[in-house]
């Protein structure tokens, strides 16, 4: 990781792939990742960790399967939301968005339990930023 400040705008401009996060820095044992997203991800859950989202650009929707039933949270630009560990969720961005995620290093983007992985979703633990 760089010891110099990093522009998130420049980081996002350095790649085009959707649903394919880039690791911009690490904080202790956590990755800080940015991603461009559009359309739907997939239903998945992280059994051992929460997942933090910050919407940098656009609007993100996160469908949740909770004990009380399904609901969708809407995150406009600047909003944050944490999906609790073990909760099935499905992010989507019909008009596209840029997001920042904070989660333990090595956490797979498709969780520990998931639906079939569509071709447009990168099943990864994050890619190094090559800006």
Tens of pLDDT, residues 59-101: 999 999 999 999 999 999 999 999 999 999 999 999 999 999 9
Residue 130's pLDDT band, with cuts at 50, 70 and 90, is: confident
Q: Which CATH superfamily is domain 8-121 in?
A: Jelly Rolls (2.60.120.10)
Residue 6's pLDDT band, with cuts at 50, 70 and 90, is: very high
Using one digit for the tens of pLDDT, what is the confidence trace for 18-37? Answer: 999 999 999 999 999 999 99
d(CA 16, CA 121): 13
Residue 3's pLDDT band, with cuts at 50, 70 and 90, is: confident
Share of the chain above pLDDT 90, in %: 89
For the chain, give the mean pLDDT. Answer: 95
Nearest CA to 51 among 83, 75, 88, 86?
83
Residue with tokens 């959707």: 18
For the record, the structure tokens of 126 come out as 């994050």
d(CA 15, CA 66): 34
d(CA 50, CA 103): 7
CA quadruple 49, 97, 34, 44: dihedral, nearest 10: 30
Vertex 49: Cα angle to 102 and 42 (nearest 5): 80
Statement: residue 115 has pLDDT above 90:
no
This prediction's pTM: 0.94
Q: What are the distances in angstroms from CA 118 to CA 42, 115, 127? A: 8, 9, 19
Nearest CA to 34 among 115, 111, 103, 92?
103
Q: What are the distances in angstroms from CA 90 to CA 25, 31, 102, 114? A: 25, 20, 17, 10
């Amino acid at each position: 990781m760089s010891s110099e400040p990093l522009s998130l705008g420049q980081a996002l401009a350095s790649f085009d792939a959707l649903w394919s996060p880039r690791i911009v820095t690490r904080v202790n044992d956590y990755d800080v990742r940015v991603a461009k997203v559009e359309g739907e991800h997939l239903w998945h859950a992280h059994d051992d960790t929460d997942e933090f989202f910050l919407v940098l650009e656009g609007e993100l929707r996160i469908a949740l399967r909770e004990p009380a039933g399904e609901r969708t949270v809407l995150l406009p630009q600047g909003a944050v939301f944490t999906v609790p560990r073990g909760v099935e969720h499905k992010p989507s961005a019909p008009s596209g968005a840029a997001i920042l995620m904070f989660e333990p290093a090595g956490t797979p983007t498709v969780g520990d339990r998931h639906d079939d992985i569509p071709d447009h979703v990168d099943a990864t633990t994050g890619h190094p930023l090559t800006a």
